[in-house]
Amino acid sequence: MRIALRTSGGRGEYEVAGSHEAIRVHDVFDREIALELLPGCRFPSNNFVRHTQGKPRIRLHDPHSDCHVYLILAAILLLPKPKREIGATPGGKLQIYKDNFSVTSIPFDVVELSSTEIVVSPTQMVLSNSTFDSVRLDVIERLRIVMACWEAASKHSSALASAILRHRNAFNLRDVKAVIGAAESIRLSNIESDDPLRHITKALNLPNLDELMWLGVHSTDIEEAMALGEENLEELKEAARNRIKVWQQVAMRGAAGARFSNEVRQAYNHTCLFSGMRLPKTPATGSSGVDAAHILPWAEYNLNAVSNGLCLSKLCHWAFDAGILRLSYGTSTSNYEIALSEAALAAESAGLLKLNGLKDIQGVVSTSLLPKDSSNWPNPSFLKVYNEALNL
């Protein structure tokens, strides 16, 4: 599904379009849109899907507010402020400057649908101008750079660094108005007509990561842009798998990732949670035989909490990441349990895999293999999010 700008006249109207598995547009009427940028990190938007003039229009609960979904997302991702009236933007080659572009489409995955709310995970934003030159912005890729700026700003003392840290704190509190306010302060600090995030990365001397050159922005054409958001089931499955991989890649960056790795290994005494093998680094081996595997990278403002990790042997780490071995938590039994996935068993039946050794690992996990401090045990809610994404 997607949020789409309809340019039928005037300022244009934002609508919900497309479908997500069995969910159709008429299923989301009178629901508030909540944005989930990372697992469990949800922003209420005050934007509702209303059946207006026969169309699924997006309307603000408070008409005097200017917190439209596209503006909230632009502020979180530290984009220049987009213009709603696409006809008033310059033509030609699209430049990511203030008022030079409009957000014409926001493809998203539906995370949850209730009687009052639709929780969506935006995957991309399509930015266009009056001559319909378009680019697409990868939401998670852009957010990774924003998060790197938050970390770098904590080591600087300047007005810009203070504004960036206010932006981070507002994000952590899910305070939409504060996020927009902090983003505007950051935009105003840039005296050049340029992408605020580019200005920040230069001011903070961020390392030359490959993605910094493009800041999450990729070229596209109008046919591709219009097609974004029209999904089929296989694409949804692949998107969910890729989202998990990207979340895990976010978590592995920087010194924080190294600390996480050490803390997880120590908490588990260098012992694989699945196999029970203790495989520390020794003079004979030269390296450790266990990895610190992330479940999800975002854990209540702490990317690298031990409760968001598992100590696994190289083989079990691969099997966990590949979705072959699943770890779940039974709320009724208060036990962790390991099982082979149905997809893995089907692959074995087709002669593609041999899972003899991994079959022996299945069953209830002994508490003796878990960290001594129960606060470091795998967080059941993270396991639930991870498994649900793989089950799509």
Let me know whether 273 and 124 are in one domain: no
Structure tokens at 355: 């899972």
Let me know whether 170 and 274 are in one domain: no
The domain boundary residue, chosen from 230, 258, 281: 230
Let me know whether 164 and 29 are in one domain: yes
What is the DSSP secondary structure assignment for residue 88, as one 8-state letter?
G
With respect to residue 290, please indicate whether it lies within any of the assigned structural domains: yes
Structure tokens at 164: 């960036």
Let me know whether 127 and 197 are in one domain: yes
Let me know whether 224 and 293 are in one domain: no
As a whole number of angstroms, the distance between CA 98 and CA 112 comes to: 33
With respect to residue 235, please indicate whether it lies within any of the assigned structural domains: no
Q: Which residues pair with 34 in a beta bridge?
A: 44, 119
Amino acid making up residue 196: P
What number of residues does the chain have?
A: 392
Let me know whether 225 and 298 are in one domain: no
Give the side-chain half-sphere CA count within 13 A for 344.
19
pLDDT digits (tens, 9 = 90+) for 236-286: 556 556 666 665 555 555 556 678 888 999 999 999 999 999 999 888 887
Residue pair 204/154 in contact (Cβ under 8 Å)? The answer is: no
Let me know whether 135 and 197 are in one domain: yes
Give the per-residue pLDDT at 213.
55
Q: Please report which confidence band the pLDDT of residue 57 belongs to, taking 50, 70 and 90 as the band edges.
A: very high
More confident residue, 32 or 192: 32
With respect to residue 135, please indicate whether it lies within any of the assigned structural domains: yes
User: Could you list the residue range(s) of the whole structural domain that residue 60 is in?
Assistant: 2-230
Let me know whether 81 and 216 are in one domain: yes
With respect to residue 173, please indicate whether it lies within any of the assigned structural domains: yes
Give the per-residue pLDDT at 114.
94
Residue pair 139/242 in contact (Cβ under 8 Å)? The answer is: no
When pLDDT is averaged across residues 325-353 and rounded to a whole number, the result is: 93
Give the per-residue pLDDT at 65.
67
Residue pair 290/262 in contact (Cβ under 8 Å)? The answer is: no
Amino acid making up residue 21: E
Q: In the predicted model, is pLDDT for residue 28 greater than 50?
A: yes
Let me know whether 220 and 252 are in one domain: no
Structure tokens at 162: 């203070």
**Strand (E) or helix (H) holding 76:** helix 69-76
The domain boundary residue, chosen from 198, 230, 262: 230
More confident residue, 132 or 277: 277
Please tell me the total count of domains within the chain. Answer: 2
Let me know whether 124 and 180 are in one domain: yes
Q: Please report which confidence band the pLDDT of residue 233 belongs to, taking 50, 70 and 90 as the band edges.
A: very low
pLDDT digits (tens, 9 = 90+) for 340-376: 999 899 999 999 999 988 999 999 999 999 999 999 9
